[in-house]
Amino acid sequence: MPRAPNPCTYLPRRLQIVASLTAFVLFCILFLGSSGTADSDSYINNVPYGPQIQQGAHQVVDHLPKLPKDLPHVNAPQWLNPFRGPAHKPPEQANSSSGEARWYTDFKWRNPFSSDTTLDEERAVLPPLAERAAIYTYFESTGKDEKSKTAEQQLLQIWRRAWWAQGFRPVVLGKPEAMNNPLFRAVQGLELEPEMDKEMMRWLAWGNMGTGVLSNWLAVPMAAHDDALLAFLRRGEYPSLTRYEGLDNGLFVGNREDIDKAIKQAIASPAMKRVKSMAEAVTAETFTVDPEHSAIAFYSTSTITGKYNLIRNKLDKPSTAGEGLAMLPTLINSHLHMTWQNIFSSGIAVLKPLPEHTTTLIEPAIDIARNLSQCPDTPIPASCPPNRPRCKPCVSSQMLITVPPVFRNTSTLFTIATVPHPYTLTSLLHSRLEPNAKFIRRETDRDSWVLAATKELLGTGLSSFSRLPALKDIIASEYGSARTLWLVGEMPPSRESEMDLEGLDWHFGFTLPRSPMSDGKSETPVPGPERRPPPPKSEFGEGPPLSEQELSHERSLLEQAKMVLRRSTGSRKGKTGAKSFAFMREVVEAWSLADTECWKFVRAWEARRRVERRGWEGEEERFQGKGMFGRWIDKVT
């Protein structure tokens, strides 16, 4: 009988079970019996420390593994959890570091502690990088004089920057792409109107790339990040070939098959030699027309003629055409800036938790906020972008800057936050530069920054650890990242190289004003009150303003804390003298786990943004040749 159990198999099976149970119990006894002490021992042994703080270190380590009671055990960082067996760290991902900052991309990024996922104290978990939808433009220089050529290059740069800031991957195409399209030969034989010839080249170049958005390089996005059209374009899937009412040939979207079909249909059309645009050359069903949209500002000839007389008058005469074109970059940049200012109608908040001691810490953030709130330089004051006729021009009433001590989740408020490393914060709060272990444990509060910054958002009842998911959401979610800029207290962009000021421009999508008044270079009238706005007053809780002496004391504490943090990383490279710095840093980090996590998260977040952009620029450079825009200019015949 096949179903009857064979008595002979019982014995070995039972023996197996007994044997594995025994092995398991033995393993548990061995593992649990030794791991508790072994773990903290190895912690002590691995930490480099100077003899003068050795005693304190033992005490700190004795106390550290006690976690706040309301915290579930799984949330503890890996090294605090003695019951966790050794495990392999997840592999390094490509291009996942920059300087000190390292990161790992994972869907678990909202978990309070990155090290639960990365098993590595230095690697922060960031959300997956959003895929950027490709947006193409076709460029052939038509500029006759130097002025026009320079203006064209500036306009292309404005186009790239504005689309990049809205989450796209802008690509400038030229004749080589059009010629690479198999349909190019079929078009060559046709004798087309000059406008249609150019339009065909654009389409061939676009068809060569495939599915995506085709934009004129004078069409830029001027709308909030979550505008419906921009959100649709960012998705990167275009079910039908679409054009947009009122934008002429400013913007098309479509997939590869539909683009090819439209080109073939146009080539076969008997009307081809007479028409001047794609819409006329193909049947009406070829395009879906979107009548409702307001996100794209297209500076077409007809728009300029209708709205910007000053520029039109110059463009009309050949002798001043270059001058007219040269005004356009400044005008478009001012409109981009003004649109941003209009979107954030509640103004700019420079976050300043613990206001008594962090005045110098937020100076770079104040600098950025003042420049952002300044009225942009413009050749036509009080003019509005083509797509926003009811804008509020920035003439004399500048944007409001506030300095609240807590983060506010208001959709029309832009927040600039500066996160200090807990070592820096401890130095500033206690005017002490060598916080020893005993002092840290007895005299300082844990996670002061995170607790203070989220006091209003999350109330006062939560532990600092359970505030981290909401904080990470503010920094890195789609909603939060469009309304905030996060800086690390120790390496603000304005103290770095020229490159990082430029990084800000790519973040916002326009050039920030960098001079208090108009530089006098433009030949156009400049409105009077363009002076830089004064630094704002702190909202409350600050008491009398700091004296010069107190400020300079704070500044020197900040500079020294930066120095300690820089030096502390030397110990990994074996530098002598770095050990005691590294030890101090580790003690403070272990004491303020949530503040440390937040700092490392912001550091990695900003670093990844830089790496992404530079990687893309590097890729694009291959096509741009040495002289940046030489490729397109050379190929013009």
Ligand X SMILES: *[C@@H]1O[C@H](CO)[C@@H](O)[C@H](O)[C@H]1NC(C)=O
Q: What is the DSSP letter of 346?
A: T
CB of 98: closest distance to ligand X in angstroms? 11
CB of 31: closest distance to ligand X in angstroms? 39
Whole-angstrom distance, CA of residue 161 vs CA of residue 180: 27
Question: Which string of x and - marks every residue 287-316 that binds ligand X (by CB under 6 A)?
Answer: ------------------------------
Q: Which is nearer to ligand X, 215 or 373 (CB)?
A: 373
Locus of tokens 């000190």: 100
CB of 162: closest distance to ligand X in angstroms? 18
Whole-angstrom distance, CA of residue 540 vs CA of residue 559: 26
Cβ partners under 8 Å of residue 529, min gap 6: 375, 395, 396
- DSSP 3-state of 510: coil
Cβ partners under 8 Å of residue 357, min gap 6: 428, 429, 554
Which tokens sit at 121? 């104290």
Residue from 615, 617, 621, 636 in contact with ligand X (CB under 6 A): 615
For the sheet containing 133-138, what is the strand order? 168-173, 133-138, 212-215, 251-254, 242-244, 288-290
**Among 388, 284, 380, residue whose Cα is nearest residue 334:** 380
- Name the helix (H) or strand (E) containing 403: none
Q: Which is nearer to ligand X, 445 or 621 (CB)?
A: 621
Q: Which is nearer to ligand X, 84 or 613 (CB)?
A: 613
- Alpha carbon 539 to its chain's center: 28
Interaction of residue 531 with ligand X, rule CB under 6 A? no
Interaction of residue 247 with ligand X, rule CB under 6 A? no
Cβ partners under 8 Å of residue 555, min gap 6: 360
Which tokens sit at 301? 């000839």
CB of 391: closest distance to ligand X in angstroms? 23
8 A C-beta contact, residue 196 and residue 545: no
- Residue type for 432, please? R
Whole-angstrom distance, CA of residue 450 vs CA of residue 630: 50
Q: What is the DSSP letter of 570?
A: G
Interaction of residue 99 with ligand X, rule CB under 6 A? no
Interaction of residue 96 with ligand X, rule CB under 6 A? no
CA 345, 351, 354, 356 dihedral sign is negative
Which tokens sit at 151? 């203006």
Q: Which is nearer to ligand X, 39 or 456 (CB)?
A: 456
Q: Which is nearer to ligand X, 290 or 502 (CB)?
A: 502
Residue from 39, 367, 550, 620 in contact with ligand X (CB under 6 A): 367
Number of neighbouring beta carbons within 10 Å of residue 333: 26
Region near ligand X per CB under 6 A, out of 337-345, 390-398, 513-521, 571-579:
513-521
Number of neighbouring beta carbons within 10 Å of residue 598: 29
Q: Which is nearer to ligand X, 375 or 429 (CB)?
A: 375
CB of 136: closest distance to ligand X in angstroms? 21
Residues 446-505 that bind ligand X (CB under 6 A): 470, 473-474, 479, 494, 501, 504
- DSSP 3-state of 240: coil
Interaction of residue 520 with ligand X, rule CB under 6 A? no
CB of 389: closest distance to ligand X in angstroms? 28
Interaction of residue 412 with ligand X, rule CB under 6 A? no
Region near ligand X per CB under 6 A, out of 23-31, 96-104, 284-292, 365-373:
365-373
CB of 236: closest distance to ligand X in angstroms? 18
Whole-angstrom distance, CA of residue 414 vs CA of residue 479: 12
Q: Which is nearer to ligand X, 1 or 94 (CB)?
A: 94
The runs of H, that is alpha helices, within 518-577 are 548-568
Residue from 180, 409, 466, 624 in contact with ligand X (CB under 6 A): 409
Interaction of residue 31 with ligand X, rule CB under 6 A? no
CB of 527: closest distance to ligand X in angstroms? 17
- Alpha carbon 211 to its chain's center: 25
Residue from 512, 558, 564, 633 in contact with ligand X (CB under 6 A): 512
CB of 409: closest distance to ligand X in angstroms? 4
Whole-angstrom distance, CA of residue 527 vs CA of residue 518: 9
Interaction of residue 59 with ligand X, rule CB under 6 A? no
Region near ligand X per CB under 6 A, out of 138-146, 245-253, 324-332, 363-371:
363-371
CB of 411: closest distance to ligand X in angstroms? 6
Residue from 618, 622, 627, 637 in contact with ligand X (CB under 6 A): 618
Cβ partners under 8 Å of residue 512, min gap 6: 337, 368, 371, 372, 501, 504, 505
CB of 364: closest distance to ligand X in angstroms? 7
Region near ligand X per CB under 6 A, out of 56-64, 67-75, 226-234, 508-516:
508-516
Residue from 165, 368, 451, 590 in contact with ligand X (CB under 6 A): 368
**Total residues interacting with ligand X, rule: CB under 6 A:** 20
Residue from 34, 37, 95, 397 in contact with ligand X (CB under 6 A): 95
User: Number of helices and strands (H, E) in the chain?
Assistant: 25, 15
8 A C-beta contact, residue 628 and residue 451: no
Question: Which string of x and - marks every residue 414-453 that binds ligand X (by CB under 6 A)?
Answer: ----------------------------------------
Whole-angstrom distance, CA of residue 366 vs CA of residue 389: 31
Q: Which is nearer to ligand X, 577 or 615 (CB)?
A: 615
Interaction of residue 67 with ligand X, rule CB under 6 A? no
Question: Which string of x and - marks every residue 123-142 that binds ligand X (by CB under 6 A)?
Answer: --------------------
Which tokens sit at 544? 């009398």
CB of 372: closest distance to ligand X in angstroms? 8
Which tokens sit at 415? 């927040």
Query: Which stretches of the chain bind ligand X, using CB under 6 A?
Result: 94-95, 367-368, 371, 409, 470, 473-474, 479, 494, 501, 504, 512, 514-516, 532, 615, 618
